[in-house]
């Protein structure tokens, strides 16, 4: 019996033996993302943030700064983070509840909501930045600078529209039904 890889998609197809399944890219990436997420969560705990909250707050600040201080719409934020609006609003609930983010209707289209950091949110973001930087430096040291750069480059590639297009173009032809 062959050795079993940690990230095998054993249920990929019924005709493949679970111990001989090809490696699953999705499972490998999710395992790595959970590990990194836990490390960053631990580092940001002192600032009272989870890594997902910190990332969301950074993106709100980044998009706002890129548009001369105009708070980003939830649609823009969801598109930038490659998540659905429902997942975004779920993730934002604790930030809004805790007074770190405020949602306001867009002045030109009241159906559109914009998200902005409050003063308390900016303070919390700044408090978390040093903890995030420490965790990031430790991950970089553990991986090595070249591997860390390669990881980011590969993650950027996988999250790109070009990758999505290539994935759809690589779809194998389905056999004709009889």
Return the top range by mean pLDDT from 105-109, 128-132, 174-178. 128-132
Q: Quote the mean pLDDT of the chain.
A: 89
* Percent of the chain whose pLDDT exceeds 90: 75
Residue 89 lies in a domain: yes
The per-residue pLDDT for 8 is: 52
- Quickly tell me which residue has 């289209």 as its tokens: 109
The per-residue pLDDT for 1 is: 44
Residue 7 lies in a domain: no
The angle formed by the CA atoms of residues 78, 84 and 85, to the nearest 5 degrees, is 70
Cβ atoms of residues 95 and 53 within 8 Å:
yes
- Contacts of residue 114, Cβ cutoff 8 Å, sequence gap at least 6: 70, 71, 72, 73, 74, 103, 104, 105, 106
For residue 175, pLDDT over 80 is answered with no
Residue 26 lies in a domain: no
Residue 178 lies in a domain: no
Residue 88 lies in a domain: yes
Record the pTM: 0.79
Measure the CA–CA gap between 37 and 98, rounded to whole angstroms: 22
The per-residue pLDDT for 3 is: 46
Cβ atoms of residues 11 and 36 within 8 Å:
no
CATH number, domain at 115?
1.10.10.10
Q: Over the stretch 18-36, which tens digit does the pLDDT of each residue have?
A: 677 778 999 999 999 999 9
Residue 117 lies in a domain: yes
Tokens of 53: 């909250």
Range of the domain at 64: 50-162
Residues 62-78 have a mean pLDDT of 93
Residue 16 lies in a domain: no
State the total domains in the chain. Answer: 1
Q: For the chain, give the number of residues.
A: 178
Residue 31 lies in a domain: no
């Amino acid at each position: 019996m062959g050795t079993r890889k940690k990230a095998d998609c054993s249920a990929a197809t019924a005709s493949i033996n679970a111990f001989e399944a090809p490696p699953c890219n999705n499972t490998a990436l999710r395992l790595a993302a959970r590990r990194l997420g836990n490390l960053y969560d631990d580092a940001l705990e002192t600032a009272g943030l989870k890594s997902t909250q910190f990332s969301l707050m950074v993106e709100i600040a980044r998009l706002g700064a890129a548009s001369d201080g105009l708070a980003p719409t939830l649609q823009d934020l969801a598109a930038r983070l490659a998540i659905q609006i429902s997942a975004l609003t779920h993730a934002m609930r604790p930030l809004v509840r805790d007074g770190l983010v405020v949602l306001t209707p867009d002045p030109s289209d009241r159906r559109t909501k914009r998200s902005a950091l409050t003063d308390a949110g900016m303070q919390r973001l700044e408090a978390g930045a040093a903890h995030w930087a420490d965790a990031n430096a430790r991950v970089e040291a553990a991986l090595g600078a070249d591997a860390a750069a390669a990881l980011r480059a590969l993650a950027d590639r996988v999250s790109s529209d070009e990758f999505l297009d290539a994935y759809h173009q690589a779809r194998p032809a389905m056999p004709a039904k009889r």
